[in-house]
Amino acid sequence: MGDVVLVPMFAADTPLVSRVLPSPNTRERKAGERLEFLIIHGTWMAGDDGALQRLCDPVAEVSCHYYITREGQILQLVPERLVAFHAGVSKAVNSEGVEIHGLNNWSLGIEVANCGPFLDGPPSLEQETLVGWTRAEPYTEAQYVALKALVADILARNPHICVERVLGHNEVAPDRKSDPGMHFDWSWLRS
């Protein structure tokens, strides 16, 4: 068995959070790094327990700031002031027109529970590129309601993030990620 990593509890950044579940997979932001992007993910995992275990496993080295369950409950895993490891090899253009590589340093990550078309478990990299969306798990109305409220709250508190820089993981890492998926309805963002 691996060593137990004790992660300090922190206060949620928004009253929308129903529970804080600290992840050890984080670091301080470096000088010059500021929040400019909000990245939406689909977990591509069947259940909350497995996804949350992975997001809090120091061996996995992945995390997110917020997690939305299928029932619309919002959990916070990493404080907004810290970097969460959610975007990986990624890029997008910032507010100054400069292409930024490694968006973890410049973004907040929201994982929305959904197995996508991968009903049999997390996909391999090859499966991500050969995805078939006809059997994708739908996102729930409760998730969209929670996500819309959370995004509005984040944008109100973070002036450098604008609605045009609320992006899907597939948009910032198109050659390796397909989440939140073709079945994700972006209309909530503009309504």
Q: Report how far Cα 165 is from the mean position of its chain's Cα atoms.
A: 14
Which amino acid is residue 6, in one-letter code? Answer: L
**10 occurs within a structural domain:** no
Residue 6 pLDDT grade (very low, low, confident, very high; cuts 50, 70, 90): low
Pairing of strands 82-84, 26-28: antiparallel
**5 occurs within a structural domain:** no
Q: CA 73, CA 85: separation in Å to the nearest integer? A: 21
Which pLDDT value is given to residue 2?
45
Residue 164 falls in the annotated catalytic set: no
What's the pTM? 0.92
Catalytic residue selected from 33, 96, 111, 137: 111
**79 occurs within a structural domain:** yes
Q: Give pLDDT tens digits for 72-108.
A: 999 999 999 999 999 999 999 999 999 999 999 999 9
Report yes or no: 44 and 65 within 8 Å, Cβ to Cβ.
Answer: no
Angle (nearest 5°) at CA 96 between 91 and 102: 20
Report yes or no: 87 and 39 within 8 Å, Cβ to Cβ.
Answer: yes
Q: Structurally, how many domains does the chain consist of?
A: 1
Q: Is the pLDDT of residue 134 over 80?
A: no
Q: CA 161, CA 47: separation in Å to the nearest integer? A: 30
Q: CA 177, CA 28: separation in Å to the nearest integer? A: 25
77 half-sphere exposure, CB direction, 13 A CA radius: 30
**2 occurs within a structural domain:** no
**93 occurs within a structural domain:** yes
Angle (nearest 5°) at CA 184 between 18 and 68: 10
Q: CA 145, CA 130: separation in Å to the nearest integer? A: 30
Q: Is the pLDDT of residue 173 over 60?
A: yes
Give me 99's structure tokens.
């292409």
CATH of residue 79: 3.40.80.10
Range of the domain at 137: 19-190
**59 occurs within a structural domain:** yes
8-state DSSP, 99: E
